Structure 1
Amino acid sequence: MVKDRLWTGSFFAACGANFLMFFAFYMLLPILPMYLAEQFAVTKSTAGLILSSYTIMALLFRPFAGFMVDSFPRKPLLLICYTFFISYFGGYMLAGALAVFAVLRATHGMAFGMVTVSVNTVAIDIMPASRRGEGIGYFGVSTNLAMAIGPMVALMIHDATPDYDWIFATALGVGLLGLFVASLVKGTKTEAVGAKQTISLDRFLLLKGVPGAVTTIFLSFAYGVLSTYVAVYGKEEVGLAGGTGLFFVCLSGGLVVSRLISGQLINRGYLTQVSKAGISLLIAGFLCFVFIKHPLSFYGCGVAIGVGYGLLCPTLQTMFINLAHHNQRGTANATYLTSWDFGVGSGVLLGGIIAQHTSYSSAFLLGTLLLCVGLTLFFVWSGPYFDRNKLR
């Protein structure tokens, strides 16, 4: 039997646009805590509050983004959201006061929430239904590659020059290239349904996805702490003088390999089993990360945690998609990404506060405990609920 074609020109373009968007995004993630400390002398808790505002605004606007994506032509909306998103990198170079930077960072989260829902939904429209699990896995690889390269490039620039504007300018240039690549995606033919249905809560939030959303919040908290504070943790508590950019390479390597495997397993029907395996591996990886403070363990845990999230994330997103009707793909993506961002934002905010009063190890330990809660919820609630209510 001949497989439906997945790797079309539009799918390549969607993956490229997503890669470049997240490249720009991940360039800023590890250096912003240092930027705030060096340029504005803020405390750890204040930095956590400012940085978490990005994620909070993203999750507040994601439900609205889902409604927009399901109601209007998707490619023009993608280009508008993409332009809005990349313009903020230029704004950071002009922010001379902490208050200005804080406002820019918060509203940038709004743009991020819109563009990520848009690009994810366009990519899923392009994928053949018979290869959707595999396609989501491959599409996620573009994010993971950006996670590896973006922070590494940013930290290399930071080591070469104390001027953070070079990092912001590079991110802006990468974003502009991504906008061009996004313009190469052929418009999808999915029907916009906003004018034909009564506006209701289910147009903004996939109600059938609530059990999965609650579980996702607990599972993503640790990732919020990790993605924002790992560079500082490596220097202050592991004792690394440099090389924290290599951690993101290890993390992304694990993510890429496991995503390539998980997509095939999802298509064969092992969705919930892959999720449970991913969560279990994350718990083991974070426990080693917290209690074994050695460079080899630091990087090895990066690989293990990457494999864990690489198994988990495609399965979670596929669960939301498979609970929704075709005209609710935008809402399903928005619900998944909103719950993910809520957990990540909580990790960024509380991680900074906990580190201020205790240590970064304590913040990572809390994230590990919440992963255990998430695994329990998956076994007793969201997993069985999905099996009973899935549409495909």
Structure 2
Amino acid sequence: MQKTKLWTMNFLIDSMTNLFIYLAYYLLMVTIAVYATDNLQASPSEAGLASGIFIVGALFARIFAGRSIEQVGRKKMLYFGLAFFLITTLLYFKITSLQFLFVIRFLHGVGFGIASTATGTVIASIIPNERRGEGTSYYAMSVTLASAVGPFLGMFLNQQGSFSMMLVLVVILLAVSLITVFFLRVPEVSLTKEQLDEMKRFALNNFFEAKAIPISIISVFVGLGFSSILSFLTSYTREINLIDAGSFFFIVYAAAILFSRPVTGRWFDQKGENFVMYPAFLLFAVGLIILSQAQQGLALLLAGGIIGLGYGTFLSSAQAITVKVSPRHRMGLATSTFFSFIDLGIGVGPFFLGFMIPVTGFRGLYACAAIVVFACTILYYFLHGRKAAEYGEPPAAEG
């Protein structure tokens, strides 16, 4: 039987828009802690806060965006999020103090949260149900490419260019996204009067999708583990004199995901989520262990590849699980619930981990992160894995 078409123009536009959104995110995320330390005399915990408060803003935005996206309209929400993300980027040119940086980072995170929630909701409505795992895996490659190119460019511009040059690049990316989204055709869900009335109520279940919470809880701890890399890898490689190898860490990380993702996506659809999720946790933990003990560039890059296989597989598979277990008319809410929780882990991680560094050092930090990620295998079993077979195929897509 012929497969339903996946690579449509709408799929490509939304994926490209998401790529640019995450490029803007990663460009600044990997360098903002160093910028705060070098230019604003921030302490390690303050530098971590400058990095993580962006995600707190994204978390705040996702909670409200997920609740209202189906009422406002998916495309309108995407336009608003991109515009706000662009405007707050321009505020970086006016940084005068550490406190002002905190405010800008929070607002910038709000724009990112709205825009990325919208792109995730749009893509979930575009992907055919029978290719859910495969389609989500390909879409998540936009984040993978951004996670490779963004940190590489960010670290390169931090060494060879300037912070202002980086900001100009972010502005260009977001401006192009705003123009491109004009050509995007978005399937909008038709809510019944009962569904609309229910979603308008100020109740907890209108801010979070209950069925998405189990896998989302796990994402908090996985996100915390990844935040140790995202916020402190630059400082770690500087300390162990592997700056050159460190600049290629995310390139190897992304290459591992790009080669594995088509396979893991098909395995998800054909063999079930447990077949890919348990190895994902183990690989991520092993990668963190290798990272914590790296003495040479080869070991650092090996860690990047293994972490890419583990974290990359988890991220796309967990997102597909979120959509799979949730009602169709609450797709936007389910998407925002999942990303809100993973944002929580990535957002609070740098602040608390910053307090650990003086005690454990960077090597001890990554060893502790490995223990947390390994423990997620047990947590996953009890929250989702043991009952994964109970979830059948989701209802047919609208549009």
TM-score using structure 1 length = 0.95
Q: Structure 2: how far apart are the matches of 1:390 and 1:114?
A: 30
Cα deviation, residue 168, structure 1: 1.0
Q: Structure 2: how far apart are the matches of 1:68 and 1:105?
A: 23
Q: How do 1:328-339 and structure 2 match up within 5 A?
A: 328-339=330-341
Letter in 2 for 1:174: L
| 1:137 and 2:137 matched | yes
RMSD, aligned α-carbons: 1.7
Q: Structure 1: how far apart are the matches of 2:102 and 2:272?
A: 43
**1:361-384 deviations in Å (ceiling 9; x for gaps):** 222122111112211111233212
Cα deviation, residue 327, structure 1: 0.3
Letter in 1 for 2:298: L
Q: Structure 1: how far apart are the matches of 2:384 and 2:236?
A: 33
SS at match of 1:205: coil
- Within the candidate set 259, 262, 265, 1:260 is matched to 262
The answer for the alignment partner of 1:125 in structure 2 is: 125
The answer for the alignment partner of 2:397 in structure 1 is: none
Letter in 2 for 1:37: T
Q: Structure 1: how far apart are the matches of 2:282 and 2:98?
A: 40
Please list every run of 5 or more consecutive structure 1 residues that lacks an aligned counterpart in the other structure.
none
Percentage of matched positions with identical amino acids: 22
SS at match of 1:183: helix
Q: For the Cα contact (< 8 Å) 1:228–1:348, is it kept in 2?
A: yes
Q: How do 1:1-392 and structure 2 match up within 5 A?
A: 1-161=1-161, 163-192=162-191, 195-198=196-199, 199=201, 200-236=203-239, 238-388=240-390, 392=394
Q: Structure 1: how far apart are the matches of 2:173 and 2:50?
A: 24
Cα deviation, residue 206, structure 1: 1.3
Q: For the Cα contact (< 8 Å) 1:18–1:143, is it kept in 2?
A: yes
Q: Structure 2: how far apart are the matches of 1:322 and 1:385?
A: 13
**1:155-199 deviations in Å (ceiling 9; x for gaps):** 2222223x3111111111111112222222113232246634252
Cα deviation, residue 6, structure 1: 0.8
Q: For the Cα contact (< 8 Å) 1:211–1:385, is it kept in 2?
A: no
Q: Structure 2: how far apart are the matches of 1:44 and 1:128?
A: 46
**1:9-34 deviations in Å (ceiling 9; x for gaps):** 11110011011111111111211111
User: Cα–Cα, structure 1 residues 67 and 391, in superposed 2: closer, same or farther, change >3 Å?
Assistant: farther
Cα deviation, residue 42, structure 1: 0.8
SS at match of 1:197: helix
Letter in 1 for 2:175: L
SS at match of 2:114: helix
Cα deviation, residue 391, structure 1: 5.7
Q: For the Cα contact (< 8 Å) 1:30–1:227, is it kept in 2?
A: yes
Which stretch shifts more, 180-189 or 193-202? 193-202
Q: For the Cα contact (< 8 Å) 2:61–2:110, is it kept in 1?
A: yes
Q: Structure 2: how far apart are the matches of 1:332 and 1:239?
A: 43
Letter in 1 for 2:125: D
TM-score using structure 2 length = 0.93
Cα deviation, residue 243, structure 1: 4.2
**1:315-369 deviations in Å (ceiling 9; x for gaps):** 1111111111110101111111011111112321122221244312222122111
Letter in 1 for 2:198: Q
Q: Structure 1: how far apart are the matches of 2:170 and 2:230?
A: 18
Q: For the Cα contact (< 8 Å) 1:48–1:353, is it kept in 2?
A: no
Cα deviation, residue 139, structure 1: 0.4
User: Cα–Cα, structure 1 residues 212 and 136, in superposed 2: closer, same or farther, change >3 Å?
Assistant: same
Please list every run of 5 or more consecutive structure 2 residues that lacks an aligned counterpart in the other structure.
395-399
Which stretch shifts more, 357-366 or 284-293? 357-366
Q: Structure 1: how far apart are the matches of 2:380 and 2:300?
A: 28
